Amino acid sequence: MASTTPVSSLTRRHIIFPLSLVLFEFATYIAHDMIQPGMLLVTREFNVGPEWVSSSLTAYLIGGIVLQWLLGPLSDKLGRRPVILSGVAFFVLTCIATHWVQSIEQFVLLRFLQGTSLCFIGAVGYAAIQEAFDEKLSVKIMALMANVALLAPLIGPIAGAAFLEFGEWRNMFWLFGIVSAVALVGLWRAMPETAGDPLMKISAGSLARGYRTLLRDRQVMSGSVAIGLVNIPGLAWVALAPVVLIHDEGLTRIEYALLQLPVFIAMIGGNFTLSLLSGRLAIDKPLRLGAWPLIGGLLIATVATLVNPHSYLWLTAGLSLYGFGTGLVNAGLYRLTLFSSSEGKGSVAAMLGMVSLSLFTLGIELVKWAYFSLGTGAFSMVTLALILLWFLLVRAFLREWQRRSVLNP
């Protein structure tokens, strides 16, 4: 069985692994964010309506659910390296194949296949990071990785809008494939093996028993649901912003892209703040601090859009404050959830990924329905309700975490 002593300080040799992983994560995100300014071009080319714009992200997220249940336990048995390397290679191939799609159905199918890359990142890559580095360093690395990954939604809309001024949307996917191929080389050279037990049995019965145990673990489930809920408003904004700002408000693609900047800069600011606080404060403190901007930001957005449905600048301001809060809470909540069970970390990460991505998918569709039925006010009210539910879950989660910490110091 492969094992490593968790690293407590970074060297040049150690940093290549998380950098390569986040480069792959960056490629998977930018594969969505760069194409978003062109989604109305895609729908127009295939003669379908704007309601298909958000279907690209929905299909992508569904793809991120379907293999989680298998990849986590599979990487517990075979090791993290071979599983994630095969996933990166598959993503490269599906990006290249997008160049030849001839219908919106083919496009959405390939988005679904590309979305399976999220399974490899969540169930395998993140688990390997948590195993390879100690608690303080893993939280810091996850926060900094999130900053690099957030460059995709930060620069993606602007880069996509600029790209479309000179190039054709199909050619973008060659770029995504090339970036992923570079990540593949880095992972192949530098990723350590932190798991792998050839004696471990993988069968339908053993998988069912393992996941049944996790389903009954209230701490794992409440943490997983909380991670899903806290990210829905941001993902819903990414999915619907082209419709809200370009189609309905009449902004240009460049203006739309510029309005994404404050939201994702704020997320990066939250992650940097978390990185600075890591090791100085207990791991639960940033979660408690992050609740204020999360709720406050979406409350601002709700009041503004109920007063004036066209107040997209106030909506952006509220989502920016919310974005700072997500940067504060995500990495710590992931760590606490992953280590709240004694089951294999691949299986726990897979359960976490399946629950959170399922909620992403359902949540985006719920917010989409609210927006197309009732407008921006309903969009904001639904996202605020989701964050209030997150707040209640995290309070219960942290109370149980404190109780277990006292019993098992």
What tens digit of pLDDT does each residue of 155-211 get? Answer: 777 788 888 888 888 999 999 999 999 999 999 998 888 777 777 777 778 888 888
Pick the closest to residue 379 from 296, 284, 295, 305 (CA basis).
Answer: 305
Instruction: Report the mean per-residue pLDDT for the chain.
Output: 87
What per-residue string of b and e applies to 367-377 under the rule 16 or more CB within 10 Å gives b? Answer: bbebbeeebbb
pTM reported for the whole predicted model = 0.74
Pick the closest to residue 11 from 185, 148, 190, 150 (CA basis).
Answer: 190
pLDDT of 181 reads 96
214 by Cβ neighbours in 10 Å (0-12 / 13-18 / 19+) ranks as buried
Residue with tokens 């149980």: 400
Whether residue 261 is contained in a domain is answered as yes
pLDDT of 113 reads 94
Residues forming beta bridges with residue 281, ordered by sequence position: 278
Whether residue 8 is contained in a domain is answered as no
Among 117-131, 136-150, 195-209, where is mean pLDDT lowest? 136-150
pLDDT of 78 reads 87
pLDDT of 272 reads 85
pLDDT of 301 reads 96
pLDDT of 153 reads 64
* pLDDT tens digits for range 271-318: 889 888 877 888 889 999 999 999 999 999 999 999 999 999 999 999
Whether residue 327 is contained in a domain is answered as yes
Whether residue 3 is contained in a domain is answered as no
Whether residue 6 is contained in a domain is answered as no
Whether residue 7 is contained in a domain is answered as no
DSSP string, 153-198: HHHHHHHHHHHHHHS-HHHHHHHHHHHHHHHHHHHHHHPPP----T
Q: Which two tokens stand for residue 101?
A: 């799609």
Residue 389 corresponds to which amino acid? L
Q: Which two tokens stand for residue 351?
A: 């359960």
CATH number of the domain bearing residue 149: 1.20.1250.20
CB 153 within 8 A of CB 238: yes
Separation CA 47–CA 391 (nearest Å): 42
**In whole angstroms, what separates CA 38 from the centre of its chain?**
21
Separation CA 125–CA 75 (nearest Å): 10
The arithmetic mean of pLDDT across residues 80-95, rounded, is 94
Whether residue 5 is contained in a domain is answered as no
pLDDT of 186 reads 93
The arithmetic mean of pLDDT across residues 118-139, rounded, is 82
Q: How much of the chain exceeds pLDDT 90, in percent? A: 41
Residue with tokens 């993503």: 91
Residues whose CB is less than 8 angstroms from the CB of residue 363 and which lie 6 or more positions away in sequence, other chains included: 228, 229, 232, 235, 236, 386
Separation CA 175–CA 371 (nearest Å): 33
Domain span at 105: 13-197+204-401
313 by Cβ neighbours in 10 Å (0-12 / 13-18 / 19+) ranks as exposed
Q: Look at the chain and report how many structural domains it folds into.
A: 1
Whether residue 406 is contained in a domain is answered as no
Other CB atoms within 10 A of residue 252 CB = 12
Its sign, for the CA torsion 336, 332, 382, 400, is positive
